[in-house]
Amino acid sequence: MKRLSKNRIFGGWHERYSHQSTSTQTEMVFAIYLPPQIGEGQKVPVLYFLSGLTCTDENFSTKAGAQQYAAKYGLALVIPDTSPRGKEVADDEAYDLGQGAGFYLNASQAPWAEHYRMYDYIVDELPKLIEAHFPVTEERSIFGHSMGGHGALQIALKNPNRYASVSAFAPIVNPIDVPWGKKAFTAYLGEDKTAWAAYDSVQLLGHAQNVCPVLIDQGLSDSFYPEQLQPEIFEEKAEKKGIPICLNLREGYDHSYYFIASFVEQHIVFHAKYLGLL
């Protein structure tokens, strides 16, 4: 693991690392924010943030203003990249497939299957690495934006014992039914749609026995709503199963980090509560 940078912010440290990933067989970069509490010898829980299409670890790190609340409530933030990257890694010219668009799944189809194993990376490899190298506990929560909201929800739904809570800004909840998801799943998982359901949050919710607390925010002026983003379908399925989730529809807000910044404190407070920090 190689440290790429270290910046002080809100009394803690924002650091970037690269490491050779066994999941993706590429060099991966992630960012971690270590709040001031670790300087006092405390171990803190970890909140993972999964970013959307085209992003790296840097978008959320520089634009969301989240470190302030991680410092206030005493948790670490971990912000991974959105796909494997490099000259040897398959790619596509479109912004919504290939590098920057890993969709947090394990691909089964050529040419993607070799490196596109973001599901294993996020669920298993990265937490092991983080918990071995930083002063953190094994308590985890997860949130994300857009494609990363899809990532956070489907990961938390399949691993209810690994995450205390999950939240999402403008998530893709039903990728099997919307253009972004259909395109990516066809490429990464093939034409057989039976494989798709394992990564579809609405489908997963239908089968789930045990669901951690869920918070979703959606801007009503988001240009991808409701064509790609249909959180009401997730809410409806949850209601049918008697699972309480919180969905906030936000008048005037769009898909940008200005929207995320406006509500990131509420999301961090939500996770802090279930991580036992409040």
Helix (H) or strand (E) holding 59: helix 57-63
Q: Cα dist. 253→71, 173, 178 in Å?
A: 26, 19, 21
Rg (CA), the chain: 17
Beta carbons within 10 angstroms of residue 110's beta carbon: 9
Q: Can you tell me whether residue 223 is helix, strand or coil?
A: coil
Which residues contribute to the site for its own copies (CB under 8 A)?
7-11, 14, 62-63, 65, 67-68, 219, 221, 252-254, 256-259, 261-262
| Nearer of residues 153 and 268 to its own copies, judged by Cβ | 268
Helix (H) or strand (E) holding 36: none
- State the catalytic residues: 146, 222, 255
Asked whether 152 and 123 are in contact (CB, 8 A), the reply is no
Pairing of strands 166-169, 27-34: unpaired
